[in-house]
Structure 1
Amino acid sequence: MGPHFWWHASGDLLSRHAVTSSFSTAWLRGDAKALSFLPDDYRHREARARAVAAAASRTVSPVLLDVLGAQNARLAPSPARERNLALLARPGTVAVVTGQQMGLFLGPLYTLYKAASAIVTARALQEETGRPCVPIFWLQTEDHDLPEIDHCVIPRPGGGPCRLALELPDAATSRAPIAHRHLGPSVLPALAALRAELCAEPHAEEHLSLLERAYRPEATLAGAFADVLSSLFAEEGLLFLDPRDARLAPLAAPVHRFALQEAAALSAALAVRVEALSAAGFAVQVHIRPGAPLSFFSPDAVDGPRYRLDPAGPDAWSLVGHPDSASIRQDALHTALEREPLRFTTSALLRPLLQDTWLPTAAYVGGPGELAYFAQLAPLYAHAGLPMPLAIPRAGFRVLDDRTRRWLGKLGLHADEVNVPRDALLTKLATRDAPELLETPEALEARLFGTFASQLEELAGPVTALDANLQDALQRTRATVRVAVSRLTGRYRSALARRDATAAERVDRLRTFLFPDDAPQERVLGLPYFACRIGTRAFTRMVLDACVPFSGDQKDLTP
């Protein structure tokens, strides 16, 4: 069965500003205010050709090519990957880049969707322009937020979501780059639990064996992640780049030097951009600290905690969040950059600039949050004298497997109807399917209180004419009855929700599969369940086939 179109507003953007509008949602629908911050050039063939031509004028340094070759040689064998590496060494080749944090067992499904989108976009740009174009996955190994990636969630057919997590005692407080974190022994019980949950699925052995080969206690989070994702896309030749490599640190040093030397000017320009976005009514994804550079610094060691830098006078920087409130002199910071550049790591806003300094990036494929911070980037790229790549929305999917379709059929629902609060859905089913005519709670409340309020209104004139002091009593009576009717309606709503235990069980199953934790499936559930049920390569192939380049549409997949 083929894909069907659907739409949702993916993910809320975090912000300190009191605004409610998601930039990515507005941008995707072509809102003029959003387009003033980030043009939708990806929709237009001529603009795509210009972006490819601009990227084709840049070459990849021999050092980066050597490191890329060595990093990718450690991954699953792939003649297509070797061909793409050879193409990247040729002048005129461009790249389509995407990236992601290294979630356990690949993290949420959208990781797979981003990689597939980059591959399909690279193919389409190559066909349109005739220029070689290769897909590259940027491993975000410089991040340090372990609680965001130390787990994987799978659905249970008979219950709620199952969360599998590493037991890393310092996960909440660790500030070391993810590149240096090993999985440790707790990955073994996580794998065992995954096998116990999924071993009965038809393709379980194939996928679980792949995970067990990669996710070993001595492996790093990044290494295991790259091993599995490279196996999924070996036929497509997806390349992987880990920026946290000592051989690449000297190539990153000029970008960090730029961030340090231009900190005041950059933060001022970016702050103006933030205010403009806020004034336009958009949530702002990345907070700008006045005068602060966009680099992190590890004062103790390259694998030690990293800290943001804040101005602390004309010649010093404070390390934000350091337990001893430490600071560093400017000359010492520049000396460290010269001698040990691997102590410096990028922030969310600086990472794209590093990426596009190293690579001939024609396009970046991102999710809603990334599109939102791309709206902040124009002043940074302008100050650096570098053209921004095309920003392209990743494909989005909702998987309706045979179980989900069966449960929907039994309840007589469409998938979109499940995206409401649980009690509201159960109430809808109870009032729809009852043999006797049952009012909805809203209708009951309106009828009861409406009748009373109407009668009270008729009485108000004569009563207050008799004694004006009775006006307060009338208002108190109205409020008391309002509360009583609402309380009765709430109990009625609960009774409706409890009316059909079988329907409630099916609703809970559906919500686990389609809207776990009240979020879209792709943002919570991981690949293992779907790969074990459908097949690793079959599911990957299905996603690739359903990706429509330069679209941004969301679809249902019905395997």
Structure 2
Amino acid sequence: MTQPARGIRGVRACCFPCRAPTDLLSPAPVTSSFSAAWLRGDARALSFLPDRCRRPTSRAEAVAAAASRSVPPALLDVLAARNARLAPSPARERNLELLSRPGTVAVVTGQQMGLFLGPLFTLYKAAAAITNARAITQETGRPCVPIFWLQTEDHDLPEIDHCHLPRSSGGPLRVALDLPDAAASRAPIAHRCLGPSITAALTTLRAELGAEPHAEEFLSLLERAYRPDATLAEAFAEVLSTLFAEEGLVFLDPRDPRLAALTAPVHHRSIEEAAAISTALASRADALASAGFAVQVHIRPGSPLGFYSPDGAEGARYRLDPAGPDTWSLVGHPDGRSVTTAELLGWLEREPLRFTTSALLRPLLQDTWLPTAAYVGGPGELAYFAQLEPLYAHAGLPMPLVVPRARFRVLDDRARRWLGKLGLTADELSTPREELLTRLAARDATQALEAPEALEARLFGALASELDRLEDPLLALDANLKDALQRTRGTVRVAVSRLTGRYARALARRDGTTAERVDRLRTFLTPNDEPQERVLGLPYYASRIGMRAFTKQVLDACVPFSGALQDLTP
């Protein structure tokens, strides 16, 4: 029997199973969520993305394969220069020196540059990369370095221009940049400065969090990093590097101009071999769909996997679709522009920064540059790695271990106190709001009150029984009364349902204080009916608990090679 992993005090910890619980040949329900199926060890999901990270022998094989590759000297030079601009860290300097040695491997993770680090899972991914790198070193004896890939090639500003804070009423507070062109922007965010609206966002943070015990330390860090003239990426890296300075987390920005030449071979292959690559990936997508899984990344027939910016490196980027022999249309271009293969390859040689990767091409660039033993990813990344085996095979590269990121639900002292007052567990907060309020009202009533469902069943049962008793005598008297009986049953059902519906709403309204506490807890634990880690950002927790104290608790709670959800009780 698999034993639960032991966590730190205040953490509920468990591992997922070492082997799939079902046989590939046995019938099993399918799900549209690949990551959910993979995390629970579903055999059909594992047939697309084996759970190699869960087995020591497979981890050793992946590490040995990665150790046979080395980091290009040009990349080492850029890493050293780029990381020297971040928060001082002797541990990071040691890790950079280790990367220059043959045989060193890496655990990589990455994320878009969310405002003030974006949702909490950004911190959890970085912590998981560090924890898994340590575990690989201890297990194999190979030096292993954690690397954070700054996803500066992306252009989706509406996904990253904000941060959410929990608050006691009114739902989460959205703190955002005022970027009027955000929805229409198609330029890589590497070149996007924060602008003057960052000042108002920081002022909002101070107004909301300034009274918290550790606010000054963290808010001062944000104010130093998030300056109007700084880019989103620069500010993001400055804060995250400070949080993990003791652990030596290394940062890589693929948009650094000094790396442009190193990107060219990957983009060249993507263009020249687009038809073969897209055919292989489309076949994989069809297999995933046939197995009952949603395909994370749509495959465009015959299209390269990258983006092209026709107006220069800092301009809008567009996907390429086949438009004829050696001609490509720029998907979404306002003028319907197209470009020839010869033009693309010419620009790739002269100005490779005009080219950027997609979600499927980025891992290939990453593992072309780095000796990646493992990649730490979230649910969406697990799903697109399930699509990637044909691409790695085409490129002749081994796929790294794919490790699920750490997942936490933070129950701070306030949340625990509110749960105690309501007599609820954190899991009960996932119950639909009206149902939960009704249950609490019935539980806390000074006199016994039936649940609405029980009352409805009792009332309709009694009336239906009377109609059943009358049916034979009435029909014996006049067979034409059958329709009237049926209409009466329907009328009774509707009337009873209306009555019990009003009764349920009265129960829900009975205790306004309870409703307020439930709503407040839902904002902290299930904001917008989503997992806490996907909505709420770090500023509240760093300001209340301490930025290093909270980071350290996350690190201590991470279980290597496990993506099990844990409760963190700082």
The alignment's TM-score, normalised by the length of structure 2, stands at 0.94
How far is 1:475 from its partner? 3.6
Show the 5 A alignment for 1:135-154: 135-154=146-165
1:210 aligns with one of 197, 221, 225: 221
The residue type paired with residue 121 of structure 1 is N
1:536 paired to 2:547: yes
Show the 5 A alignment for 1:51-130: 51-130=62-141
How far is 1:490 from its partner? 2.0
Distance 1:307 1:67 in 2: 27
2:338 aligns with one of 327, 341, 352: 327
Per-residue Cα deviation, 1:496-545 (whole angstroms, up to 9, x for no partner): 11111111111111101100000111110000000000000000000000
Any unmatched runs of 5+ in structure 1? 9-18
Partner of 1:443: 454
Partner of 2:568: 557
How far is 1:31 from its partner? 0.7
How far is 1:454 from its partner? 3.8
2:309 aligns with one of 298, 302, 312: 298
Distance 2:281 2:481 in 1: 61
1:267 paired to 2:278: yes
1:350 paired to 2:361: yes
Show the 5 A alignment for 1:45-444: 45-444=56-455
Contact 2:15 2:563 in 1 (8 A): no
Contact 2:31 2:37 in 1 (8 A): no
Distance 1:359 1:468 in 2: 84
The residue type paired with residue 51 of structure 2 is D
Alpha-carbon distance change, 445 to 82 in structure 1, aligned in 2, over 3 angstroms: same
Identity %: 77
How far is 1:7 from its partner? 10
Distance 1:46 1:126 in 2: 14
Alpha-carbon distance change, 479 to 279 in structure 1, aligned in 2, over 3 angstroms: farther
Contact 1:7 1:554 in 2 (8 A): no
Distance 1:466 1:374 in 2: 72
Alpha-carbon distance change, 20 to 325 in structure 1, aligned in 2, over 3 angstroms: farther
1:4 aligns with one of 8, 12, 17: 12
The residue type paired with residue 193 of structure 1 is T
Distance 2:57 2:543 in 1: 42
Distance 2:549 2:127 in 1: 13
Alpha-carbon distance change, 313 to 496 in structure 1, aligned in 2, over 3 angstroms: same
The residue type paired with residue 56 of structure 2 is R
The alignment's TM-score, normalised by the length of structure 1, stands at 0.96
The residue type paired with residue 244 of structure 2 is F
2:517 aligns with one of 493, 506, 522: 506
User: In the comparison of the two structures, how many residue pairs are matched?
Assistant: 549
How far is 1:371 from its partner? 0.5
SS in structure 1 opposite 2:153?
coil
The residue type paired with residue 357 of structure 1 is T
Per-residue Cα deviation, 1:382-423 (whole angstroms, up to 9, x for no partner): 111111000001111111111111000011011000112211
Contact 1:531 1:539 in 2 (8 A): yes
Contact 1:7 1:555 in 2 (8 A): no
Any unmatched runs of 5+ in structure 2? 1-8, 17-29
Alpha-carbon distance change, 506 to 7 in structure 1, aligned in 2, over 3 angstroms: farther
Partner of 2:20: none
Distance 2:304 2:490 in 1: 56
How far is 1:198 from its partner? 0.4
Alpha-carbon distance change, 219 to 468 in structure 1, aligned in 2, over 3 angstroms: farther
The residue type paired with residue 145 of structure 2 is V
How far is 1:158 from its partner? 4.5
How far is 1:6 from its partner? 7.8
SS in structure 1 opposite 2:544?
helix
How far is 1:463 from its partner? 4.5
Alpha-carbon distance change, 459 to 385 in structure 1, aligned in 2, over 3 angstroms: farther
Contact 2:15 2:562 in 1 (8 A): no
Per-residue Cα deviation, 1:358-386 (whole angstroms, up to 9, x for no partner): 10000000111110111111111111111
Contact 2:527 2:535 in 1 (8 A): yes
How far is 1:184 from its partner? 0.4
How far is 1:173 from its partner? 1.0
Per-residue Cα deviation, 1:10-50 (whole angstroms, up to 9, x for no partner): xxxxxxxxx85311111111111010000001010000000
How far is 1:471 from its partner? 4.2
Contact 2:128 2:406 in 1 (8 A): yes
How far is 1:283 from its partner? 1.7
How far is 1:157 from its partner? 3.0
SS in structure 1 opposite 2:498?
helix
Contact 1:6 1:556 in 2 (8 A): no
Distance 2:479 2:319 in 1: 67
Superposed CA RMSD: 1.6
Per-residue Cα deviation, 1:323-343 (whole angstroms, up to 9, x for no partner): 112111221111111111111
Alpha-carbon distance change, 450 to 327 in structure 1, aligned in 2, over 3 angstroms: farther
Partner of 2:25: none
